[in-house]
Each structure stands twice: as C-alpha cells, then as structure tokens.
Amino acid sequence: MKEAASSRPLALDTLAVHAGQPPDPVSGAVMQPIVLASTFAQSAPGEHRGFEYSRSGNPTRNALEACIAALEKGKHGFAFSSGLGASTTILHTLKPGDHVLSGDDVYGGTFRLLDKVLAPMGITSTFVDMSNPDDVARAIRKETKMVWLETPTNPMLKIFDIAAVADIAKKQGARVVVDNTFATPVLQSPLDLGATAVLHSTTKYLNGHSDVVGGAIVTSDEALAERVRFLQNAMGAVPSPFDCYMVLRGIKTLSVRMERACASAAAIAEKLAGHAKVERVYFPGLASHRGHAIAKKQMRGFGAMITFVLKGGLESSR
C-alpha cells in the first residue's frame, strides 16, 4: 500500500523554505513579514495575542526560531544577535563551581569567552583533544556540567565522535552542546546523535550572504529550553526582526549552496594535496584525514572548509 503523503516527514529542503512560515493570515503573503514593532497592543493589562515587547518575542524571530529548530530536528529554537550571544546565553545556565569540558580546537571567540569571561566568574574549563573518546572519559569530572564540542572544528577541522562523547557525558550527567556551524543541519544532526543542544553562528552558512551577524540554539530538553528562554529575554542578546528575515531568506537556499560548496571544497582539497608548495591539507573528505571514518559515519558530506599548511611557513607565503 502506498504511504499517504501526509504521513511522510518533510524533507530538509522543504523545511528550509516553509518551516515556521505559513502564509500571513492577514494578507496571504507567502514570505514572512518583517514585524518591526517594539511594542504590541494589549486588550487589557497582561492580555495580548502572544507578543508584548520585541525583546521577549517577535513574530519574525519566532518564524526563524521555528525554522532552525525544524532543520535541526529539535523542539525549541532560540535566535540571538550573534553566535557568541548564543554561546554566552547557554553558558549562563551554569553556576560558579561548575566545569566545562571543551574540545581543544574551538572558535577563538568561544575560547576567549570560556577562558577570559567565565573563568573569573568561577566557571572553569578544560580543553582536550576529543578525537579519542577515552581522553574525554579521563578528563571529565564530577563537577563537569557541560561538554562543548565543535565538529568539524574551527580552524583545524578535527572530527569528534558526537555519539561516543554524548554517551560519556550523559553517564556523568553533563549536557552536551555541539557547535554545528561548519556542518550545518544539511550535513549533520547532532541531536539525533545524542547532543543536548545544537549551537550555530547563523552569520556563516545559514545566512550565507555575509550581511548578517546572528546565532541560534536548538534543543529538545524541556528544562534547558525553559532556562534558555528566560535568559534570552533577561540577557537581551536578541536579533532584530530584519536580521531574522535575512537569515530566513538565506536558509531557503542552504541545501543547494552546501551541495555546491562541498563539491568545490572536495575538488580544491584534492588539488592542494598534490601541490608542490603545500605541506599538508586538513579536509575531512580526504582519506588521509585522521577523522575521515568518523566524518563518513556521522555526516552526510564532508563540509566546505579547508585548512592547509604552506611549505616554508609565513615568509614563503608572502
């Protein structure tokens, strides 16, 4: 018997175009309106139509949050004014005395946040190469409340086994946050692999046009979602409605852009690997990459980022 169309899950390409964005009930517009209002009318004190003040919630932001949550297969999405705004907010679910176990190769802004901002507040961090899950098991502590990893990492493109790391963390009762910026939901689904939350700099691939700075968090953990929702409003690192619209626009072409970018990266990496002036190429799609097998297992493509080392160092590159 042929499966009913209504029972089939929507493909990622369809979600990228439509998730969280039904036609406008007033005008019928098929594109999400940009609602710039800071304040919304109330029929009586505390009685409104779901919106009261745009820091607390905005229709355009809600659409973006629902769209990203659908792409990441999560229940709750939260949009922020930058990737670091998202990172700062979720890290504020911790308290003094808590410990973060982080991958050793993380975005510089994340390292600065952990080492220079949170450490003086009594939230400590340890940085470890998570390529071998046994090293994660040895580094985790009883006070570890969050395990933080990028995969592929920025900038050395290390690959960490999300499922293996998540299994170790959950036995300790620690939440697992995966920065999925480099992979995007087109290539990798961390929540399916055991992560508690997914984080994005929407500035990068999700927006894709170098004209927005933004961030996002997605989770299906109800307790974490409740706390992040409170902190999003209390700390105020929210994006403008226009930026939300721009990211929604960019997401509509995410899948086709990633397909082309990944194909280009694979071809460029192969060329660089055979170039006489290149000492080493770091690209998960190369069989020589240490994390190639794990990337092949947990990703639907190898990404579009390449790191390479020139022979002779900086001087020879000038």
Q: Per the residue annotation, which of 55, 73, 170, 252 is the catalytic one?
A: 55
Q: What are phi and psi of 250, to 5 degrees?
A: -65, -40
Q: How many CB atoms lie within 10 A of CB 49?
A: 10
**Count of helices and strands (H, E) across the chain:** 12, 9
List CB contacts of 37: < 8 A, sequence separation 6 or more: 54
Structure tokens at 188: 């990798």
Give the pairing of strands 124-128 and 144-150.
Answer: unpaired
Give the residues across from 125 on adjacent strands. Answer: 100
Q: Per the residue annotation, which of 61, 105, 107, 245 is the catalytic one?
A: 107
List CB contacts of 183: < 8 A, sequence separation 6 or more: 151, 152, 299, 303
Residues 191 and 106: their CA atoms lie apart, in Å, by 20
**107 included as an active-site residue:** yes
Q: Per the residue annotation, which of 170, 204, 229, 300 is the catalytic one?
A: 204
Q: What are phi and psi of 171, to 5 degrees?
A: -65, -25
Peptide bond into 33 cis (omega under 30): no
**104 included as an active-site residue:** no
**204 included as an active-site residue:** yes
CB 85 within 8 A of CB 110: no
State the alpha helices, DSSP H only, in the chain. 12-18, 59-71, 83-91, 108-112, 133-139, 162-172, 184-187, 222-235, 241-251, 254-273, 292-298, 313-317
Residues 276 and 11: their CA atoms lie apart, in Å, by 43
Residues 217 and 80: their CA atoms lie apart, in Å, by 8
Q: Per the residue annotation, which of 98, 105, 161, 179 is the catalytic one?
A: 179
**260 included as an active-site residue:** no
Please identify every residue annotated as catalytic.
55, 107, 179, 204
